[in-house]
Amino acid sequence: MKTKFIALILFSMLIQLVPAQKTEMIEYKAIDTTKLTVKVFYPENFETKDKFPAMVFYFGGGWITRAITQFETQSRYFAQRGMVCFIVDYRVTKTDKTTPFESLMDAKSAMRFIKSNAKRFHLDTNKIVASGGSAGGHLAAATALIAGYNDPKDNLKISTKPNALVLFNPVIDNGPGGYGNERILEKYTDFSPLHNIVKGAPPTIIFLGEKDDLIPMETMKNFKKKMEEVGSRCELLTYPEQKHGFFNKPMYKNNTMYEADKFLISIGFLTGEPTIKIE
């Protein structure tokens, strides 16, 4: 009971830190009658500056279910810190009868839409962060590392590669024994981020619970090792006793936002100090 009370206090404090901001729903893609949107969160001083860093969020759900509100708190916080933030809707199995491959096509279409509208959104295209949790973490990483699975209707001259990754217990290995392999099968060789790390991979921070039952610790350590072998920075922060999706809990939501903020400061995407405080 005491733990729940503390969590409620922390969540209340978090809400107070992120006041109401201008948001907008914008369609980025249509497939027959299906309309896909991004929800945009603007910084308070949006009209007074030409260029802002951006953060593009992909919700989790195993490419099966939608959770489009999952990263609203993070989006509001980082908008308050001076970033234009986007939450991407994409096709999923339950409502759209699609596979993970269509989910990735949509994720890449959204990144191209955002980049192609950089002037509209006042973006610094050298400071775009892709972020996501679980299967959404896969999509974020895949925009950086996976060459294929592009919608042929997209402008393929626009790269989907972001400049940094912030990943919350991401699905990073789709190979045999990895998450989703029963759906990906032999295509894991060109779909799985772990199997497609190349020189120039963007700097990355990863958050993982030590008792995650879907993403083994050894898998993530292997990903970090392979990233560092090609000369890319990869930080791995682990949380004792925590399971898959732990970052959705108020207490850990605060902590992971604070650490993500510090990471973005360290690579020059944000300035000052995090405004979220943690014990």
Instruction: Supply the range of the domain harboring residue 234.
Output: 24-266
Return per-residue pLDDT of the chain as tens, 279 residues. 444 444 444 444 444 444 557 999 999 999 999 999 999 999 998 887 789 999 999 999 999 999 999 999 999 999 999 999 999 999 999 999 999 999 999 999 999 999 999 999 999 999 999 999 999 999 999 999 999 999 999 999 999 999 999 999 999 999 999 999 999 999 999 999 999 999 999 999 999 999 999 999 999 999 999 999 999 999 999 999 999 999 999 889 999 999 999 999 999 999 999 998 776
For residue 72, give the 3-state DSSP assignment. helix
Collect contacts of 199-202 with beta carbons under 8 A, ≥24 apart: 199/230, 199/231, 199/232, 200/230, 200/232, 201/144, 201/145, 201/227, 201/230, 201/232, 202/144, 202/161, 202/162, 202/163, 202/164, 202/165, 202/232
Q: Are 112 and 155 spatial neighbours (Cβ–Cβ below 8 Å)? A: yes
11 in a structural domain: no
Chain mean position to CA 31? 23
Of 41, 110, 130, whose CA–CA distance to 81 is shortest? Answer: 41
Q: In the chain, how many domains are there?
A: 1
Q: Compute the distance between CA of residue 40 and CA of residue 59 in angstroms, rounded to an integer.
A: 14
Q: Compute the distance between CA of residue 77 and CA of residue 275 in angstroms, rounded to an integer.
A: 9
Q: What is the DSSP letter of 194?
A: G
Q: pLDDT at position 21, please?
A: 75
215 in a structural domain: yes
Collect contacts of 1-10 with beta carbons under 8 A, ≥24 apart: 6/251, 7/249, 7/250, 7/251, 8/250, 10/250, 10/251, 10/254
Residue carrying the six token digits 């892709």: 130
6 in a structural domain: no
Q: pLDDT at position 48, please?
A: 79
278 in a structural domain: no
254 in a structural domain: yes
167 in a structural domain: yes
Q: pLDDT at position 9, please?
A: 43
Q: Compute the distance between CA of residue 225 and CA of residue 215 in angstroms, rounded to an integer.
A: 16
What global pTM score does this model have? 0.91
13 in a structural domain: no
Of 257, 212, 200, 265, whose CA–CA distance to 74 is shortest? Answer: 257
CATH of the domain at 238: 3.40.50.1820
For residue 264, give the 3-state DSSP assignment. helix
Residue 19: both structure tokens together: 């006041």
17 in a structural domain: no
Q: pLDDT at position 49, please?
A: 79
